[in-house]
Amino acid sequence: MKKILTILIVLVMVAVVTATAVLFLFPYQPDQPPEADDAGSTQQGIQEVVDANNKFAFELYSEIDKSEQGNMFYSSYSMSAALAMTYEGAKGQTAEEMKSVFHFPESNTLRPNFAAIYNEINKKNKPYKLSTGNALWVQQDYPFLEDYTNRVENYYGGKAANLDFISETERSRQTINTFIEEQTNDKIKDLIPQGVLTPDIKLVLTNAIYFKGTWTWEFDKSDTREQDFKITPTNIVKTPMMFMDNDKARFNYADLGELQILELPYKGEDVSMLILLPKQGEDYNFETGERIVSDYTLEDIELSSEKLNEYKSQMQETKLDYISIPKFEFDTKYFMNDALSAMGMPTAFTDGADFSGMTGKDDLLISFVIHQAYVKVDEEGTEAAAATAVGVGITSVSPRKEFRADHPFIFIIQEKETENILFMGRVVDPTK
């Protein structure tokens, strides 16, 4: 029976950054991730990689939804980045399954264009904070192929650092966790729990992504007040609701019958939050005299990257009379083995895995994939933000367009030019 070694893949999605103590030599300073080689990138290639990430984002939402009933938040980009580095070492069926799940294009397209997206995220002098970084934590003296580590460094900015998982297991765990804390302003703690790292671990790949943005049009803190949030028609909680009735503000917005979609831009206009809100409540059409009752839920929203593009194509710059969304802050942690297996890549987690592109030998499998995320939305903006909101509006003789997110909604944070989804989540209970 062949000896099976393991790879631990760790994914992080988060917000904000502060420094902590360094235990070992880190691969780079968290605020100075290395530049990747994007010399072969094209606009078409970038769009192919963006489309791949966005398809995965929605498919992952559907998979997590099968087991999670409450709030949800994750970074599809973070997962795609960490698994793309792993994919670089995959062969045969293992590679084909990973390519299918993440919709990766051919390697000659994936590499330079993923590098271009990575470099764009890390560009300096932005009116918001957005950065990402990759690292490889390698068992010292274990013979990884130089060709593999060079590809990861050149195209993903993934610098390698040696650790001793065999005799310094706990110290290695602390080293990686400390590095992640540095990259995430202490928002992600104890990413790798005790007991996950074992002497069999030969490689840990990590990705961290951080975002902090200020709304172009901020909510007035003095207007925030406790209001009802209807988790269900019969389960109602009190939560701080933010309000805006700014006469100058105009937003991209659409009322699509079963849902409202609203775009809230951050300063700089390069990144925005989309809120998809199922229509609920009672309205009155003064033109027809018709009483309108809507009771749509999140389950009624058709979700896919294609559907999102269709929704967005109907949005127009609109003066809204009234906007209200809840303040919220929560974190999530997912152990992704089962979800990724169910999505179509089971082989990577079994003895049949082939990661010989890493070592030249058929002796590696993925042990764990961990993803942890944090989000905070308030009057000023968003930290490590993923957000979605949908509101209720009516058409009448004297139209009043309102967006009242007082019931569960989906939120997405994406780069506007490429439409690359950075974060995605939903709010079911803003008090949790």
The pLDDT value recorded for residue 357 is 93
pLDDT tens column, 129-179: 998 889 988 888 888 889 999 999 999 999 888 989 888 989 998 998 888
Q: How far from each other are the two terminal CA atoms of the chain, in whole angstroms?
A: 48
Residue 242 CB-density burial (10 A; 0-12 exposed, 13-18 middle, 19+ buried): buried
**Residue ranges per domain, the chain?**
5-213+329-376, 215-326+380-427
Task: Report the topology of domain 5-213+329-376.
Answer: Antithrombin; Chain I, domain 2 (3.30.497)
- The encoded tokens of residue 329 equal 């802050």
CATH code for 215-326+380-427?
A: 2.30.39.10
Q: Which parts of the chain sit beneath pLDDT 50?
A: 1-4, 12-24, 286, 384-399
For residues 340 and 369, is the Cβ–Cβ distance under 8 A? yes
What's at 122, amino acid-wise? N
pLDDT number for residue 233 = 84
Q: What is the pTM of this model?
A: 0.88
Which two three-digit tokens encode residue 151? 């590809």
How far, in Å, CA of 85 to CA of 410, rounded?
Answer: 29
